[in-house]
Amino acid sequence: MTLRVTEVFRSLQGEGLQQGTPMAFVRLTGCPLRCSWCDTTYSFRGGTTLSERQVLSAVRSLGCSWVSLTGGEPLAQDLNVLTELLLGEGFKIHLETGGSEPLAALRTHPQVHIAMDLKCPSSGMAGRNLLANLGLLKVTDEVKFVIGDSADLAFVRGLLSRHPLPCSGVLQPVFGAPLGSTLKQAQEDPLPLLYRVQLHKHLYGQRAGT
Ligand code: SF4
């Protein structure tokens, strides 16, 4: 089998619970969503066709113990062969998914660290959240909410009251959005979430391969 891959590179994990961890990133090509603030639109099309063994070899050469499978939407492709190869060689896997594709399609998901988005209204994609995925998350996984405005924050509050998370949750402002007063207000009635900004963009700017 083969995968369509936009880029393989080494960087620091810029988001979420594992922020700051050196990782080999495999950016899969293609995504069924079109978030208004998407920062990886270059991964929507193009890419290179690689066998899973070619991806494994590229990852090996980067010398990291963690591998981030990202996109695009990694779960839009069949990652079962690749994840089995990576786990078989002792790599730890971090999967970044937009939350619209079924986690159950990945047979290895119990052995993989899942970082799953739940999309907020300003993304334009909130209707695509697959809430059934929440039932498959482990206590060690994470859910990320990207916040673009105060309406997004209200959305998160409502969603958490109906669907308590089975794992940690991370609130991340859209890069560059003027959200100071919104996030300050949020602290007056704190949500059970961690607040994080995108480390890699502060270190390297907004560009491919980081
Ligand atoms: S899910 Fe991710 S890659 Fe897809 S459009 Fe949204 S931000 Fe971009």
Q: Where are the alpha helices (DSSP H) in the chain?
A: 52-60, 80-88, 150-162, 180-188, 199-204
Instruction: Give CA–CA dist 122/118, Å, rounded.
Output: 12
Q: Which atom of ligand 1 is nearest to the CA of 123?
A: 6
Q: Kindly state if the Cβ of 73 falls inside 6 Å of ligand 1.
A: yes
Q: How far is the CA of 191 from the centre of ligand 1 (A)?
A: 24
- pTM of the predicted model over 0.85: yes
- For domain 2-204, give the CATH number: 3.20.20.70
Specify the range with the lowest mean pLDDT, choosing from 70-79, 98-107, 124-133, 178-187: 178-187
The residue extents of the domains of the chain are 2-204
Q: Which residues contact 5 (CB under 8 A, 6 or more apart)?
A: 26, 27, 28, 29, 47, 48, 49, 50, 55
pLDDT bracket for residue 159 (50, 70, 90):
very high
Give DSSP secondary structure letters for 15-61.
SSTTTT-EEEEEEES--S---TT-S-GGGSS--EEEEHHHHHHHHHT
Among the ranges given (92-101, 144-153, 199-208), the one the predictor scored with the smallest mean pLDDT: 199-208
- Whether residue 205 is predicted with pLDDT greater than 90 in this model: the reply is no
Check pLDDT > 80 for residue 158: yes
Pairing of strands 22-28, 2-12: antiparallel
Q: How far is the CA of 71 from the centre of ligand 1 (A)?
A: 7
Q: Measuring CA to CA, which residue among 135, 91, 94 is closest to residue 114?
A: 94
* Residue of 111, 102, 115, 124 whose CA lies nearest to 143: 115
The confidence band for 204, taking pLDDT boundaries of 50, 70 and 90, is confident
Q: How far apart are CA 58 and CA 82, in angstroms?
A: 12
pLDDT at 35: 97
